[in-house]
Amino acid sequence: MYNLSMGVLYLVATPIGNLDDITIRAIKTLFTVDFIACEDTRKTGQLMELIRKSLKNNDLVIKNLDVDNKPVLIPYYDEIEFKKLPEIIGQMEEGKSVALVSNAGTPLIADPGYKLILECFRRSIKVISIPGPSSVICALNSAGVTTNQFLFLGFLPSVKSKRIAILKELYSVFKNTLKIKPTVIYFESPHRIVESLSDLMDVYGDIEISLVRELTKIHEEVIKAKISKIKNNSSIIKGEIVVLFTS
């Protein structure tokens, strides 16, 4: 049971590139909560100002919304998660409402927040998810891969030996499995993508994969080809990258 005298934690999905992807419910939540716990206060502040400008210019109309309300922005990222946890929980125990956002997309997906959710459950604080953009689902839908089963790995380790160990373990688990052949999805950074794809090819061979980059942005691109061809494409070293392949 939730303690109704306490505030609520809202998990609010924000655009991964295109501002038009934000939902009406997300906007209403962001402009009515008391605090916003954000991965980067500058980016969240910029997002709030863009939304506020659209509302004031009547590019976007939401009735009975106070566009001048400015929730307090609280920095909340991996390195300070434990330090900020008591402050955020304390505000909700006093009846204040808090929205949790990441820099882009759905909170907690390869982003901080798990510890905060657990603490909310321990203290009977209600948690409500406000769904919206997710680069994982967006990439899965557009990559030309099977979608009925998928395995998301987040970011692979930056250390080569650890990255290869995970890929080998994955290969070992699924190579003799007849019933389960999920699409594997992982995030990768532009400066590490070529090395990461080389490691993937060393373990799985020169298989066909899908590489999706800059989702919902002007230069959005979906490349579906063998690893050897993709890793020699100079465009893949730019933007946010999602890699997908069949295990």
- Tell which CATH architecture fits domain 136-246: 2-Layer Sandwich (3.30)
Whether the Cβ atoms of residue 23 and residue 15 lie closer than 8 Å to each other: no
Ramachandran bin of 206, using left for φ above 0, alpha for ψ from -120 to 50, beta for the remaining angles: beta
- Comparing CA positions, the residue from 240, 216, 200 lying closest to residue 230 is 200
Give the largest Cα separation in the chain, rounded: 59
- Tell which CATH architecture fits domain 8-133: 3-Layer(aba) Sandwich (3.40)
Strands across the sheet with 150-155, in order? 150-155, 183-188, 241-246, 208-213, 221-226
Spell out where the chain has E strands.
8-12, 35-38, 72-75, 98-101, 126-130, 150-155, 183-188, 208-213, 221-226, 241-246
Task: Give the C-alpha separation, 76 to 82, whole Å.
Answer: 9
Task: Give the C-alpha separation, 25 to 162, whole Å.
Answer: 41
Token digits of residue 144: 């030309």
**pLDDT for the residue numbered 171:** 94
Whether the Cβ atoms of residue 99 and residue 34 lie closer than 8 Å to each other: no
Token digits of residue 88: 């955020």
Residues of the chain with CATH 3.30.950.10: 136-246
156 DSSP 8-state letter = P
Residues of the chain with CATH 3.40.1010.10: 8-133
**pLDDT for the residue numbered 218:** 92
The pLDDT tens digits along the chain (247 residues) read 788 889 999 999 999 999 999 999 999 999 999 999 999 999 999 999 999 999 999 888 898 999 999 999 999 998 999 999 999 999 999 999 999 999 999 999 999 899 999 999 999 999 999 999 999 999 999 999 999 999 999 999 999 999 999 999 999 998 877 678 899 999 999 999 999 999 999 999 999 999 999 999 999 999 999 999 998 887 777 888 999 999 8
